[in-house]
Structure 1
Amino acid sequence: MMNNQKQSLLTILFVGATMTTPLVAQDLQTALQDVEAERYTKAEQTLTKLATSSPTAENQFYLGYYYLRSGQPDKAKAIFEKGAAADAKNQLNNVGLAGVALAKKDRSTAKSLIDNAVAQTKSKDEAVLIRAGEMYTLSDQTNDPAEALRLLTLAQEKDKKGEHKDEIEMLMGDAYFLKNDGGNAITKYENALAAKPTLAEANYKIGRLYLRGKNYAKAQEFFKLAIQNDPEFSPTYRAYADALANSRAYKAAATNYELFIQKSGTTDPELLLDVARYKFLAQDYQGAVTYLDQLKGKINNPIIDRMYGWAYSALGKNQEAVEALNRFISTAPQKVMVDDYKYLGRAQAKLGTPEGDSLGIMNLEKAAPQDTTENLYREIAKTYYDDKKYDKAAEYYAKTIKNDKKPLNNDYLFNGLANYQYGFRVGRDTTAAPMDTAQIRIGRQTYFLRADSAFAQMAQQVEKTAGETYPLAYYYRGQSTYYAYPSAISLSTGAAVPFYEKFIELANAETDAAKKQSYQKNLITSYKFLASYNLAKKDDAKAKEYFNKVLELDPNDADVKKALEGPKPAAAPAKPAATPATKAPVKKKVADK
């Protein structure tokens, strides 16, 4: 909130000083630039040295000002009191004490101190007016932008030559920023730029306004200008990182936040924790862990355990992730959010133990209904499918599809496969309640028909893209339709026929040799079904045609050879003379699974 150009004001403050004034003023100007750029360590060193070597009221004020700006109000108060005692007529330190009162949310004391300082200087001291106006803008919570503007307007009236124009305009912009008056704030910052075209702080603060308005692209434009003005002005990099992160450019955001850390020289653990957050968002999980390791023993913040847990989960260090997240959830239950259960569930599910699978699914289920960024039902379904718990997998793939605006083709595929696989287990699943014959028949039919529906949806989704097909969707539609009913009924109705025929058509049209080869077993099954279907219709010629197609793919198929040969004639008895044997019908064959 202070600009980089303090020379004119410093001249006012140091009238009558010794011959060392130019050097002291230069050091002070550099230190104030460091404060504004949040290079607090350097600023403290310079201002402490000045206040020690030349303990004037002004030097005490600026040391206290550093402490106030760096978030250390108690230290600031002690220094301001020392400065006020050094020169009772100098009102700057009383203005500083008002800033401390505002930081401590004591408005009445702050107002009394500022009003008295302005009155004592008869509203004519530009330095007092400027600093008093600034104090009313420093706190996000306890501020008074209207009073700040009144005081700064008085200062502006005294600044006949415009020597402090850029600084006053910047502070007025800050006051309008607090009033949520973006238009006037930008005007004031632009006025400051007109007075000093290379003022990085002005472009930074215009960018900050656009950032607050969620116009991230425009914000980035001004942050880039600020960096061109002054590559060492560190606050720009922090705000730029925020704008980039909100544009999902996480890697660039992490890079810029690290630049903020480097250029400010901060060792503040909370800011280092922010770097870890950005590293995580950039999927630099090891980088996040590296920053977290620097915070051990320096910060008592349970969020560290959360970050460790998330990063370890992403790195596949699942046991460490489980331990860290369980620690976080137990120590800070009021801060637990959806993602904590998500990453804990993922880590538990990958432990490779039955207990881990169970707990993992439990925690993913907690997160799934509230997670708006990922469809966690898909992960739960996959866990069940991998564990061959096909009934539960089918249930959760159905939830995946229901809770996704754009389900994946594979969601339909695995929903179909899970239902299909469990159809064969109905009545044989030892984890399910016992079933009688009728219940088994109905259960099998339910799962196979659900499978058919899922494969139909998958085929439809794939074929929305011109020229795209998935032949196996039709194969599994045929299989599901066949197994949904007793064999005799399926062969009688022929409901599965069009699906097998469509699969055969698409598979034979495949131009990729490897893919075509992969369909061979499915083609054999399809031909066998069609042969059996035609036998049931008593169309032996058509059945033979399909059996021969099987032999083209597998000349050694014993079942088909036997079906084509028919039964051998019985041996003729010695007496009476043998009569020709009656030709038996070809044995009907059904498709393999």
Structure 2
Amino acid sequence: MTNSKLLFSLLLAGSVGTASAQSLKDARAAIETENYGKAKTILQQLVSKQAKVGDNYFYLGQIYLVNDKPDSAAIFFNQGLTADPKSQINNVGLGYIDLLKKDKASAEAKFSAASANLKKKDYEELLEIGRAYIKAPEPDYAKALDYLTQAKAKNAKDAAIPLALGDAYRGLKEASSAYSSYSEATDLDPNSTRAKIGLAVIVRGAQAFDEAVAQLTEITTASPTYAPTYRELAETYNMWSKAPGTSDEKYVELNKKGVEQYKKYLEVNGDNSLEAKIRYADFLVYARQYDELGAVSEELAKNPDVDPKIYRYLAYNAFRNKDYAKASENIQKMFAKMDPLRVIPLDNMYAGLSDVANNKVESGIVFIQKAIDQDKELLAEVAETAFAKYQDQETATAVALFEIIAKYPDTDYYFDSNYYAGEGNYQIGFKKDQEVRMRKVM
């Protein structure tokens, strides 16, 4: 081979290597479009090749948080602090995990450590702390605004900051300020689809669901490859289905549209990872699409490293198929294997309903009461079960459920529940009285 040919070959090899190399910028772009499977692959490679760069660990930890695995996320955040002691951004990740645990004091200590000695132009830590307060189970939008305002003072040209400010103002229900922030993000980055989505979500927050759907659909037409818009559409249809006055037929129709949009989200994203399928199953749970959930859960159950969530899906599906013993078995498996922080109110609801269906009424009532204390919207499902039990002449069980509902004057089922609880107790008392009379006669 001549020297010129050898040089050409080396240059070609170098160009191929450069083209295939993935950077932190690529990983963040994948996170922006919610292709978390792709982002995870890139970040795992970066952690291996650039072991002393703290940001690599931080963003990889973020992927595990998205996938509801805070313990795994914490491992990477701690590794990041060890690998890059000068960078404190991984303390932000650990602080967010404290917020998940509702340990606000510990979170604040970590956030203070992360932001204490920032250089003049450093603002990323402040931005991420603001985002952490927004995403927390118990958001603190005022604190988010404080940190985000500090970030903006250091860098007024990063569109990510007014985007986060828009989210914080939206959380505070300050629609005008949210609109201004999203508009500012659009001015800074005219190509920001995320900012346009933010404006549509403000409309959704005003319960103008038809207009929100129209705006989001328009965004999909303009930017058909931006996957998050389809997820927002799916969630908008789901929220619309829960609006007061929605008929049962409309509820089903809207949630079917939501599932269609979520499938489009997965298709456009191209994320076929196990984690993406689990997030899809999560959406099906909240959309109450149990037929589709059944098919997805059976597929997920074939995975040997199954997430404990799979038992949630199998339990819900079994309950809907009236296999109450199987429902109870799976929900108990989930409780045994899952971190209590990951248990959602609906889990307690189905644990209680399964116990009630299995004639374990006392323990069932305890679970159901706990679920309602966590989420009042679940009263509708308790009412549905109570009426079904009443019609099946399981009067004592129905009364126990009606008496729970009757504690909440604001529910649509308040008056009916009081009536049927009283009627049921009358029937139970009348039956007992008749039995006493019969025994005296005999």
TM category (shorter chain) comes to 0.5 to 0.7
Q: Does residue 78 in structure 1 map to residue 112 in structure 2?
A: no
Distance 1:142 1:157 in 2: 26
Distance 2:236 2:57 in 1: 37
Alpha-carbon displacement from aligned partner over 1:267-305 (angstroms, at most 9, x marks no partner) = 454632643775859xxx6x5653454355762223222
Q: 1:226 to 1:361 in 2, by over 3 A?
A: same
Q: Does residue 258 in structure 1 map to residue 259 in structure 2?
A: no
Structure 1 residue matching 2:197: 3-state secondary structure = helix
Please name the residue that 1:304 is paired with.
317
Distance 2:30 2:56 in 1: 15
Distance 1:84 1:93 in 2: 6
Distance 2:62 2:147 in 1: 19
> 2:316 is matched by which residue type in structure 1?
I
Alpha-carbon displacement from aligned partner over 1:60-113 (angstroms, at most 9, x marks no partner) = 222223323433222222212221122222222223322222222222222222
Please name the residue that 1:549 is paired with.
none
Distance 2:356 2:223 in 1: 41
Query: Contact (CA 8 Å) 2:64, 2:72: kept in 1 or not?
Result: yes
Alignment match of 1:201 (pick from 178, 194, 206): 194
Q: 1:158 to 1:231 in 2, by over 3 A?
A: same
Please name the residue that 1:226 is paired with.
219
Give the percent of matched residue pairs that are identical in Structure 1 and Structure 2: 24
Q: Does residue 337 in structure 1 map to residue 382 in structure 2?
A: yes
Alignment match of 1:180 (pick from 173, 180, 196): 173
Distance 2:230 2:394 in 1: 37
Alignment match of 1:42 (pick from 38, 41, 44): 38
Q: 1:84 to 1:270 in 2, by over 3 A?
A: closer
Distance 2:226 2:151 in 1: 27
Higher helix share: 2
Q: Does residue 30 in structure 1 map to residue 26 in structure 2?
A: yes
Structure 2 residue matching 1:136: 3-state secondary structure = helix
Please name the residue that 2:281 is paired with.
272
In the superposition, the TM-score normalised over structure 1's length comes to 0.47
Q: 1:156 to 1:292 in 2, by over 3 A?
A: closer
Distance 2:148 2:286 in 1: 39
> 1:271 is matched by which residue type in structure 2?
Y
Structure 2 residue matching 1:71: 3-state secondary structure = coil
| CA radius of gyration, larger in | 1
Please name the residue that 2:230 is paired with.
237
Alpha-carbon displacement from aligned partner over 1:499-545 (angstroms, at most 9, x marks no partner) = xxxxxxxxxxxxxxxxxxxxxxxxxxxxxxxxxxxxxxxxxxxxxxx
Distance 1:86 1:289 in 2: 43
In the superposition, the TM-score normalised over structure 2's length comes to 0.61
Matched pairs, number: 318
Q: 1:60 to 1:276 in 2, by over 3 A?
A: closer
Please name the residue that 2:210 is paired with.
217
Equivalent positions of 1:427-466 (< 5 A) are: none
Query: Deviation of residue 261 (structure 1)?
Result: 4.0
Distance 1:101 1:25 in 2: 35
Please name the residue that 2:416 is paired with.
none
Q: Does residue 130 in structure 1 map to residue 127 in structure 2?
A: yes
Query: Deviation of residue 127 (structure 1)?
Result: 2.1
Unmatched 5+ stretches in structure 1: 1-18, 310-322, 346-358, 374-593
Q: 1:100 to 1:226 in 2, by over 3 A?
A: farther
Query: Deviation of residue 146 (structure 1)?
Result: 2.1
Q: 1:79 to 1:100 in 2, by over 3 A?
A: same
Distance 2:86 2:325 in 1: 60
Larger RCO (CA under 8 A, 6+ residues apart): 2
Distance 1:294 1:305 in 2: 15
Q: 1:84 to 1:361 in 2, by over 3 A?
A: closer
Distance 1:62 1:79 in 2: 9
CA RMSD of aligned residues (A): 3.8
Distance 1:270 1:228 in 2: 25
Q: Does residue 97 in structure 1 map to residue 94 in structure 2?
A: yes
Distance 1:102 1:25 in 2: 35
Equivalent positions of 1:109-124 (< 5 A) are: 109-121=106-118, 124=121
Alpha-carbon displacement from aligned partner over 1:166-221 (angstroms, at most 9, x marks no partner) = 11100111211222322212221122122223322223233333333321112112
Distance 1:332 1:295 in 2: 28
Q: 1:219 to 1:59 in 2, by over 3 A?
A: same
Q: Does residue 155 in structure 1 map to residue 151 in structure 2?
A: yes
Q: 1:222 to 1:337 in 2, by over 3 A?
A: same
Query: Deviation of residue 149 (structure 1)?
Result: 1.8
Query: Contact (CA 8 Å) 1:201, 1:226: kept in 2 or not?
Result: no
Q: Which of 332-341 and 208-217 deviates more?
A: 332-341
Distance 2:168 2:142 in 1: 7
Alignment match of 2:182 (pick from 189, 208, 212): 189
Please name the residue that 1:144 is paired with.
140
Distance 1:372 1:295 in 2: 37
